[in-house]
């Protein structure tokens, strides 16, 4: 069980007070979470020499969280990843969402959950954040109530437990957009770190990163990450999927999905020995290698968040699933509970 402490972060441009909550476990691992966007600001874990390393990208200033468009560390919703042309039909009715990524809707729209102020409650298990998304927000039907529990256990696991209910049928695909750098947030690119994804298949995507509906075997492609693989080894290969996305930015189909917690990915950095194992109850994982990071705004301790300085492991329903009935649908039914659990366990290389 973790201890939770609170401090003030600052005030947003429109006058909301933002707090920071620190979760600490018995090994002194620490996670700092902000009520602005439900964002993870920092995760400090011990390296092979017992030194604590902050392994996530972030900013020191609240104003940088308000102005950034990289979703650094934030909770994402109502619908993480892309919906083609921001359009879907549900129960015979057509809906048009805000398109904030070229022709498409990405990560909840113009003002997604990453830019909302969440209310916080400390509990025996950790920190519960709540946000009530009004009906019609960003074009989505129904009033959606979301509760996210962040908890930290003594095996150095950060769990994110997502619960939601709605008063109408609606779309729901919640995730978290933390960028990890297991050599330290200010250590440069993640290209010499290793990634392993427990997936035999990925969802083929077009040049707008929209899944086409095809589920393709990883065998013989640079998306075969079934064994620990140095991220930089094939990231620039002439393989079309990588060229379209400017690196890794794809959805993998997690092996043996059945709605229970399954291992999705493993990552490690030799320089610190720090490892990260990600598990989830959701069917997909987006491994994004930070291809669009561009150095601005200034990061923690005057660091710069340049291209490929961090990677995300976003648990999710497959992107653009609403267009592809063969994909599991990110739909929440009126009055029925929605639940997903994703865990990030930190360790050391043996
Ligand atoms: C997406 C990228 C997108 C990025 C935005 C990722 O989850 O997969 O395509 O550019 O978020 O920061």
pLDDT one digit per residue (tens) for the chain, 350 residues: 678 899 999 999 999 999 999 999 999 999 999 999 999 999 999 999 999 999 999 999 999 999 999 999 999 999 999 999 999 999 999 999 999 999 999 999 999 999 999 999 999 899 999 999 999 999 999 999 999 999 999 999 999 999 999 999 999 999 999 999 999 999 999 999 999 999 999 999 999 999 999 999 999 999 999 999 999 999 999 999 999 999 999 999 999 999 999 999 999 999 999 999 999 999 999 999 999 999 989 999 999 999 999 999 999 999 999 999 999 999 999 999 999 999 999 999 98
Nearest to 287 by CA among 172, 186, 213, 193: 193
Q: Whose CA is nearest to atom 9 of ligand 1?
A: 249
Backbone angles phi, psi at 192, to 5 degrees: -100, 10
CA distance 316 to 131: 19
Element (H, E) at 332: strand 331-332
Domains and CATH numbers, the chain: 3-189+274-319+328-348 (2.70.98.10)
Active site residue 177: yes
pLDDT at 1: 60
> Is there an atom of ligand 1 within 6 Å of 292 CB?
yes
- The β-bridge partners of 106 are 82
Encode 95-104: b = buried (16+ Cβ within 10 Å), e = exposed.
bebbbbbeeb
330 CA → ligand 1 middle, Å: 18
Q: Which of 79, 105, 107, 177 is catalytic?
A: 177
288 CA → ligand 1 middle, Å: 7
201 CA → ligand 1 middle, Å: 20
Tell me the best of 109, 288, 296 to mutate to test the pocket of ligand 1, counting ligand atoms within 8 Å of each CB and taking the most.
288
CB 200 within 8 A of CB 206: no
> Is there an atom of ligand 1 within 6 Å of 114 CB?
no
- Cα dihedral value 287, 292, 294, 298, nearest 10: -50
Nearest atom (ligand 1) to Cα of 314? 7
Active site residue 314: yes
> Is there an atom of ligand 1 within 6 Å of 161 CB?
no
CA distance 324 to 243: 24
CB 207 within 8 A of CB 316: no
> Is there an atom of ligand 1 within 6 Å of 68 CB?
no
pLDDT at 137: 98
The model scores a pTM over 0.85? yes
> DSSP letters of 278-298?
EEESSSEEEEE--TT--S-S-
CA distance 324 to 306: 34
118 exposure class (CB count in 10 Å sphere: 0-12, 13-18, 19+)? buried
CA distance 346 to 227: 19
Q: DSSP character for 118?
A: P
5 CA → ligand 1 middle, Å: 31
CB 72 within 8 A of CB 298: no
Neighbours of 263 (CB within 10 A): 17
- Determine the length of the chain: 350
CA distance 187 to 203: 31
312 CA → ligand 1 middle, Å: 9
Instruction: Tell me the torsion sign for CA atoms 238, 294, 183, 72.
Output: negative
């Amino acid at each position: 069980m973790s201890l939770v402490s609170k401090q003030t972060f600052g005030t947003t441009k429109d006058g909301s007070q933002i707090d920071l909550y620190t979760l600490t476990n018995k090994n002194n691992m620490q996670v700092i979470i902000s009520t602005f966007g439900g964002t993870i600001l920092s995760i400090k874990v011990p390296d092979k020499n017992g030194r604590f390393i902050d392994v996530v990208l972030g900013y020191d200033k609240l104003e940088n969280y308000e102005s950034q468009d990289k979703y650094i560390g934030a909770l994402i919703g109502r619908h993480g990843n892309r919906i083609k042309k921001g359009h879907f039909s549900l129960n015979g009715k057509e809906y048009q969402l805000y398109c904030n990524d070229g022709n498409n809707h990405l990560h909840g729209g113009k003002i997604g959950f990453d830019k909302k102020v969440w209310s916080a409650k400390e509990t025996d298990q950790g920190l519960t954040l709540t946000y009530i998304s009004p009906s019609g927000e960003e074009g989505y039907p129904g009033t959606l109530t979301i509760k996210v529990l962040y908890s930290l256990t003594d095996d150095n696991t950060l769990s994110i437990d997502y619960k939601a209910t709605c008063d109408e049928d609606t779309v729901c695909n919640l995730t978290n957009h933390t960028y990890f750098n297991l050599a330290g947030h200010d250590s440069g690119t993640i290209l010499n770190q290793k990634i392993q994804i427990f997936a035999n298949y990925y969802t083929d995507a077009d040049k707008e990163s929209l899944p086409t509906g095809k589920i393709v075997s990883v065998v013989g492609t640079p998306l075969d990450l079934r064994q620990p693989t140095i991220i930089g080894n094939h990231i620039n290969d002439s393989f079309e999927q990588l060229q379209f996305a400017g690196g890794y930015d794809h959805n993998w189909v997690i092996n043996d999905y059945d709605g229970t917690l399954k291992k999705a990915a493993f990552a490690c950095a030799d320089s610190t020995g720090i490892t990260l194992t990600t598990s989830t109850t959701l069917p997909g994982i987006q491994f994004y290698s930070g291809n669009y990071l561009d150095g601005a705004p200034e990061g923690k301790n005057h660091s710069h968040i340049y291209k490929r300085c961090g990677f995300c492991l976003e648990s999710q329903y497959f992107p653009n699933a609403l267009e592809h009935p063969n994909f599991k649908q990110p739909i929440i039914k009126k009055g029925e509970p929605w639940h997903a659990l994703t865990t990030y366990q930190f360790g050391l290389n043996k």
